[in-house]
Chain A
Amino acid sequence: MNLSQLPKGGQATVLSVIDDCAHDAIAHRLRELGFVVGASVKILAKGFLGGNPLVVRVGNTRFALRKKEAQRIQVVTSL
């Protein structure tokens, strides 16, 4: 599943960030910001309808992401 499918309050571990196109600058930036394999994430807030945009905590930092950005991040829910 990807990050945008997590519910509010949901926690998960990042598997990978998938490039949407060749040389995807947004995906590269996401990786730089800490969305790398093994990073744990938690959804802190979601927008009104469709949960767009959302706020996610990765490590000690909170980021606001749009759905299209969140869909690049593949996660697996922690058990």
Chain B
Amino acid sequence: MSLAVPANHRIALVGNPNCGKTALFNLLTGSKQKVANYAGVTVERKEGLCRVNDEFSLQILDLPGAYSLTATSPDEAVTRDVLGGKYHGEAQPELIVCVMDATNLGLHLRFALELTALGQPMIIALNMMDSARRQGINIDTDGLADELGIPVVETVAVQRNGAKPLLDQLSKQHWRIPTQIEDRDLDARHERVKGMLENYVSRCGEERNSSIDDHLDALLLNPVSGLFILAAILFFMFQAVFSWAAPLMDGITSGIEQIGTFVTAPITPGSALYSLINEGIIAGLGNVLVFLPQILILFLFILLLEESGYLPRAAYLLDKIMFNAGLTGRAFIPLLSSFACAIPGIMATRSIQDPRDRMTTILVAPLMTCSARLPVYTLLIAAFIPRQQVAGLFNLQGLVLFALYFAGILSALLVAYIMKWLRRDKSEHALLMELPAYRIPNPRDVAMGLMQRAKIFLRRVGGIIFALTVLLWAFCTFPSAPSDYVGTAIDYSIAGRLGQMISVVFEPIGFNWQICIALIPGLAAREVAVSALGTVYAMSGSDDMISQKLGELIAQQWSLPTALSLLAWFVFAPQCISTLAVIRRETNSWRVMGFAVFYLFALAYIASFLVFQLSTALLN
């Protein structure tokens, strides 16, 4: 049956998880949505425009992967509702492009058959055809097309022209509804898939790829060697963040100094403008910008792990520990994303089927050490922890960083355990997680991912951090002290007075008033605390203090217990407005958000208090 197609078409990409829908979407629309090698990367609908030629363009919808239209998790429900035309504010798509992993038709064909039963115009895109050919899989696309009554095209979403056959088919604008066959029963559908595989799919040669995967799995999924390798990977990652970044960071520091001297050269020293640029912007932003290399190294590791297909294996290895703590192995991926940033981490919980598991994961995600904490941690570690080797092998600074990450993980498990214990409902939770085939990370994708992270970081530095730094500078400058005022000018300013006032609350945990001031703008985002400290110290010191690095300065001015206490504070404190906003949106509840704020600040204060009092007692 043929249809004449009206203008302004809406097309939905649908298919099983991890078959390359988003890679295809990026190729068609020129977007840069996140892709990786595990099920559940895309958890919400994404829209983009695909320009076929000058007068013809298509509205493409990328939907979360689903195994079936009988949805079991919030992300699958989105796909079901959009396809059924029940999604709020969204018209039903006019054409379904069913994307399938050509190397795994046995699983993916069944969902395709379920989709044909919708009676909508449809095209099938056999994706990952390059891997299928490498594995010696031959697919009779014409035979498939004849049986289903719809076009079947081959695509390779990771190649530049890999979507051309699909584009050609889309631009024909001559879409067809699949031939209806009464096979609504699940068993009948499986039977039909079996028949189709026999008729249209043949294999030549050995299953080479999957045997490599089997060997890797034997090593990586083994409870002993697997856990050992996982620990080694994470450990190496944190060591590398410290040791690889050092030369790059020195380069950035001297670069910023040179720019600073160049920019401030024509301005009279002592004027308000000079102070704003030198003490406000350069002292503030420069101190944050320095951490770009460390953040990129961390992301390099995260991207490599995501692309390789290792992440779900790690989730499998940790499932038992996490289950005992009241979480699910599936929570591993959202929690690991939270090491980058809690916001995508919390959104990734949509792939968790069980609402209780999902809630617990959302509440503990802010405890994972996000990359915004890295500037705070490394500033304090570099200033207070001696640079020495432990056991001739490990860098002590790297060890402390590892310990801080570990503290976050451990407290997340404890909090989850307590929540499980408080919960009355103890019915069953399911794991049911697909382990994808291993893949060698594509250098271009990794480079693109790193570029994106660098852009996000620089945008934050130029946006929120810049704005708050200038604001803080103003609060530290005005009202300006009268000429007969004894003491530094900052004591007379709004920020100085405010800092002195609230420092009463923070005295038991060892924070001085400069830290207290820095924590206020730091509520918006954690890195701001570093830029704010830079500004506050630059404003309150003499000129030779400004020229000193912030790290050296605080190493002279703070006691070790204060530094340790601040580290403990940042393990817990929810100093990030955006995270709180996402918690509120994802749980649709102010109460849950309020609870998260309360419990995290309470833990932060208690932990800092214990660390400060204990280390003070020990050192005296």
What residues of chain A have their CB less than 8 Å away from a CB belonging to chain B?
20, 25-26, 28-34, 36-37, 44-48, 52-53, 55, 59-66, 68-69
Contact = CB atoms under 8 A, between A and B. Distances in A.
B70 A28 contact: yes
Given A25-B72, A45-B222, A64 B312 contact: yes
Contact of B187 (A33, A36, A63, A66): A36
Nearest to B69: A32
Contacts of B432: 26, 29-30, 33, 63-65, 69
A59 B106 CA distance: 7
A66 B430 contact: yes
B319 A53 contact: yes
B117 interface: no
A55 B70 contact: no
A38 to B, nearest CB: 8
A53 B320 contact: yes
Contacts, number: 97
Contacts of B190: 34, 36
Nearest to B191: A36
Given A59-B104, A69-B432, 19 more contacts: A25-B70, A26-B428, A26-B432, A29-B68, A29-B72, A32-B110, A34-B190, A44-B218, A46-B223, A53-B319, A59-B106, A60-B103, A60-B106, A63-B432, A63-B433, A64-B432, A66-B323, A66-B430, A68-B428
B214 interface: yes
A61 B435 CA distance: 7
A32 B186 CA distance: 7
Interface string B179-204: 00000001100100000000000000
Interface residues of B, number: 34
B68 A32 contact: yes
Contact of A63 (B106, B214, B435): B435
Contacts of A68: 428, 430
B213 to A, nearest CB: 8
Given A29-B68, A69-B431, A61 B107 contact: yes
B221 interface: yes
28 contacts: A26-B428, A29-B68, A29-B72, A29-B430, A29-B432, A32-B68, A33-B67, A34-B110, A36-B186, A44-B214, A45-B222, A48-B223, A48-B320, A55-B435, A59-B104, A60-B103, A60-B104, A61-B107, A63-B432, A63-B433, A64-B315, A64-B329, A64-B432, A64-B433, A65-B431, A66-B429, A68-B428, A69-B432
Contact of A64 (B186, B316, B428, B429): B316
A69 B221 CA distance: 19
Contact of B217 (A20, A31, A45): A45
A66 B433 CA distance: 10
B595 to A, nearest CB: 29
A26 B353 CA distance: 10
Interface in B154-197: 186-187, 190
B353 to A, nearest CB: 9
B188 to A, nearest CB: 11
B329 A45 contact: no
Which 7 A-B pairs have CB atoms at the shortest separation, nearest pair first? A45-B221, A59-B106, A62-B435, A48-B223, A64-B316, A66-B431, A64-B433
B421 to A, nearest CB: 20
A42 B511 CA distance: 58
- Among B110, B186, B214, B431: residue with most chain A CB under 10 A: B431
- Mostly, the B contact residues are helix
B434 interface: yes
Contacts of A63: 432-435
Contacts of A29: 67-68, 70, 72, 430, 432
Nearest to A66: B431
A17 to B, nearest CB: 10
Contacts of B329: 53, 64
A34 B320 contact: no
A60 B67 CA distance: 15
Interface in B192-247: 210, 214, 217-218, 221-223
B106 A61 contact: yes
Nearest to B437: A62
Given A48-B223, A63-B435, A55 B67 contact: no
Contacts of A48: 223, 320
In this complex, the member of A26, A28, A34, A53 whose beta carbon has the largest number of chain B beta carbons within 10 angstroms is A53
Nearest to B221: A45
Given A45-B222, A69-B432, A53 B316 contact: yes
Nearest to A50: B320
Contacts of B103: 60
B137 to A, nearest CB: 10
Nearest to A34: B107
A33 B316 CA distance: 18
B70 A32 contact: yes
Interface string B261-299: 000000000000000000000000000000000000000
Contacts of B429: 66
Residue from A28, A46, A62, A69 having most chain B Cβ neighbours under 10 A = A62
Interface string B125-155: 0000000000000000000000000000000
B104 A61 contact: yes
Interface string B68-87: 10101000000000000000
A30 to B, nearest CB: 7
B107 A52 contact: no
A31 B70 CA distance: 12
Interface in B417-447: 428-435
Contacts of A34: 106-107, 110, 190
